[in-house]
Structure 1
Amino acid sequence: MNRSLLPLAVIALALPAAAQAQAQYKLLVLARPSTYHYEYIPIARDSLERLAKLHAFELVFTNKTNVFEGDLSQYAAIMFLNTAGSELNAAQRRRFEAYMRAGGNAMIVHRAAIMPANDWPWYEKLVGRTVGVHPMLQTGVVTIVDRGFPATYGLPERWLWSDEFYVTSNPYRITIDPVLNVDESSYDPRKIWPGQMSHPMGRDHPIAWHHRFEQGRVFVTTLGHNGEMYRDPQYLAHLMGGIHWTATGRGQRP
């Protein structure tokens, strides 16, 4: 080896990985176990860590809500992964509200869209829709509403997918931009547990959307019920498209 190259080689070996491949942005993911959502956590963490390495962003994955007591401004986006805002205490909620009002961005995934009634109306407005009861997990056909949005780029026009297709309402009259719909003719929207009732929403049944809230971007996908979904390449492409847009505001087709 050329002796003149030795110092450069030593320097390269001494540099930390982050310095050799600078992260584009920092994403905070809050994922806490609950009665119906816990087995997904190690699978989702592994998949998101691989996405972070592949797409050169920094990932902070935690189940501790006290992270909201620290400096949130360092995060380009915060993902609530199957973990709703009801998990935050009053002080943590105020910090998150301030983060959004300062231009922060949020991504809401599946169970994170469900809040107890009147618990935190601000968070329900951030989500953009209020989730009611939902049919049992079934296989249905997901359709593309906005082909120009990054969370659709890895999906076919009609995507056969199995999930809980949430029924939502809009009590706060929030305007959203739908990204994905579900075709209710492809499953039974009334199939639910004894003692409950689920009503179809009709042709307009959004299951993923985006909008602006306070001073930031919000992307919501109600898909992602069970752990195996976080190994599926198409679902991960859907998530990555949402992450990219939420964190950077880029990637939409004009």
Structure 2
Amino acid sequence: RHQLGSARGRLSGLTAAGTRAAAGDGDDVHAGRGTTTNGSVANQKGKGLLLYAERPFKDFTLELDYLPESGSAAAGVFLRLPQEPATLDAAERSAYEVKLGEDKPPAFREPVHYTRSMFLTGAINLVGADSMHHRDQMSPRRFVSRAPGEWNTLRVDAVGQRYTVYVNGEKVNDFFGRKATEGYIGLVNRTPDFSVRFRNVRVTPRTATNAPNSVGELVATHDQRPPIKVLMVTATHGFRHTYGIEGAVELMRELEKTTELRVDTTENLATLNPANLAKYDVLFFANSTLRINPKDTTQAALRAVRLRAPIPNAVTPEQQRAVIDFVRGGKGVVLAHAALDANYGWDEYREMAGGGLFEAHPWTTHLRVINEAKTNPATRHLDDKFWIREEFYILDKSPRATSRVLLSLDNTSFGSPNMGRLPAPENSDHPVSWTRTYGQGRVFATILGHFRDTWQRPEFVQHLLTGIRMAAGRQPTESAARR
């Protein structure tokens, strides 16, 4: 076990424990100078990096205690810097950082209640992303740091490309990266006026064999299975969840390599015809905010289907019939996130989805979810209650009466709304995922999937993959409600 950041020696140079100060940029040229107090270490002033330069590490467990001196103090831990960085900027762009405290988000175009989660304790990110939806970032499940002035514990397991983060003993992140798998460790201070102190910093090298290096490898099948042929539709007429769609497409490519899924992705609604659909086992609407043109083109009728004017590429009556016949005839359909903000005025689609469609999303934040189906294959890997960050949809009608609800929101975790109006008091049942039968076919639906990082969370990927198998009729399930 290697001790980092010992109070021995001068932290402005190479210490007896091998910790070296790396300067910040510009006005922060002295930012790397450290101070020690009662066996803990912190930057003397400004932003900067304390680098453990004695040796790089491959697989390891990092443990430390940290104390933000104020609510505005922010710091982080760099993992596997591929070389000793000359500047803080170079470090930021070459290795993953685990956030500590609450750093100020950069000026992304997204609102603060989107960006804030990427800069909270337990988040993993890589500076230089053009958006908080970037592939190389993942928000924590929730914020669990103690009050400023109190000590917290951090543990990071880095094995292959997998980074598992625990704060105060609670698992808050599980992330598969794609950067260097060997490198240096550094402690960074990010707020010029406030410090985060560190103590008991230690690294234990690990030896792992056959460890998964991607979420696809984590859920890989190791036996021969008949392929499940999936047509994934990502076309949109309403709001386009660009990053969520990119995440879905990337995930399906991964799962094609490691599971029995065989996925064709399309933006062309002409593929929704009987002859083409006959090739597939499952139709997957991934964040596809589709619309139909109403027969009545008055403004009232258009508003009812969430249109301002008729559109030339709406889902046609023939395509509607092909989709319904496909499912009712014995195939499967999967609806993810904005597929429930779709096809207003198409009564059979609403019925197939379980009866409810999008009404509002008051909470885009971390909420607690209740696992209502611990024995179901799609949820038995999940805790009885767990936290996740999402743009949580509130539907205009709960699907509970027609469906087997798997997950639902814990209403006691609600805070003030940050993105939309609250639901009516009588609308207090908020399922998150559910299954049902529709005719002879099977439906799996989830409101999850807004953020790109959702599509890389191991717990969500297992949930979705099993849901696809259930929709295809390849996975035994509990009894599902029938239309």
Q: What TM-score, normalized to structure 1?
A: 0.81
CA contact 2:286–2:337 (8 Å) conserved in 1:
yes
Match 2:467 to one of 220, 242, 245: 242
1:230–1:126 Cα change, 3 Å: same
Q: Hey, what does 1:97 align to over in structure 2?
A: 324
Q: Hey, what does 1:62 align to over in structure 2?
A: 266
Match 1:151 to one of 372, 375, 378: 378
For structure 1, which runs of at least 5 residues remain unmatched after alignment? 1-20
Moved more, 145-154 or 228-237: 145-154
Secondary structure at the aligned position of 2:288 is classed as coil
Letter paired with 1:49: R
Q: Hey, what does 2:187 align to over in structure 1?
A: none
Q: Hey, what does 1:28 align to over in structure 2?
A: 231
Q: Hey, what does 1:49 align to over in structure 2?
A: 253
1:71–1:174 Cα change, 3 Å: farther
The reply on whether 1:228 has 2:432 as its aligned counterpart is no
Query: What is the CA distance between 1:79 and its match in structure 2?
Result: 0.6
Structure number with bigger Rg: 2
Identity of aligned residues (%): 24
CA contact 1:153–1:237 (8 Å) conserved in 2:
no
Moved more, 35-44 or 126-135: 35-44
Letter paired with 1:71: N
Q: Hey, what does 2:200 align to over in structure 1?
A: none
CA contact 1:134–1:198 (8 Å) conserved in 2:
no
Query: What is the CA distance between 1:40 and its match in structure 2?
Result: 2.2
CA distance in 2, matches of 1:172, 1:244: 21
For structure 2, which runs of at least 5 residues remain unmatched after alignment? 1-223, 292-313
Q: Hey, what does 1:37 align to over in structure 2?
A: 241
CA contact 1:138–1:163 (8 Å) conserved in 2:
yes
Mapping 1:183-194, distance limit 5 Å? 183-188=410-415, 190-193=417-420
The reply on whether 1:129 has 2:355 as its aligned counterpart is yes
Secondary structure at the aligned position of 1:59 is classed as strand
1:56–1:172 Cα change, 3 Å: closer
| Structure number with higher relative contact order (C-alpha < 8 Å, ≥ 6 residues apart) | 1
How big is each residue's C-alpha offset from its partner over 1:171-207, in whole Å with a ceiling of 9 and x where there is no partner? 99951110001101112274433xx4434543x3211
Letter paired with 2:468: I
CA contact 1:39–1:227 (8 Å) conserved in 2:
yes
How big is each residue's C-alpha offset from its partner over 1:78-108, in whole Å with a ceiling of 9 and x where there is no partner? 1100114525222211111221232121111
CA distance in 1, matches of 2:417, 2:265: 36
The reply on whether 1:75 has 2:75 as its aligned counterpart is no
Q: Hey, what does 2:336 align to over in structure 1?
A: 109
Q: Hey, what does 1:216 align to over in structure 2?
A: 441
CA contact 1:106–1:219 (8 Å) conserved in 2:
yes
CA distance in 2, matches of 1:79, 1:189: 33
Q: What TM-score, normalized to structure 2?
A: 0.44
Q: Return the structure number with greater strand share.
A: 2
Letter paired with 1:64: N
1:146–1:251 Cα change, 3 Å: same
Query: What is the CA distance between 1:144 and its match in structure 2?
Result: 0.6
Mapping 1:160-175, distance limit 5 Å? 160-170=387-397, 175=402
Secondary structure at the aligned position of 1:235 is classed as helix
Secondary structure at the aligned position of 1:151 is classed as coil
1:93–1:231 Cα change, 3 Å: same
Q: How many residues align?
A: 230
Query: What is the CA distance between 1:156 and its match in structure 2?
Result: 2.0
CA distance in 2, matches of 1:229, 1:171: 23
CA distance in 2, matches of 1:65, 1:98: 16
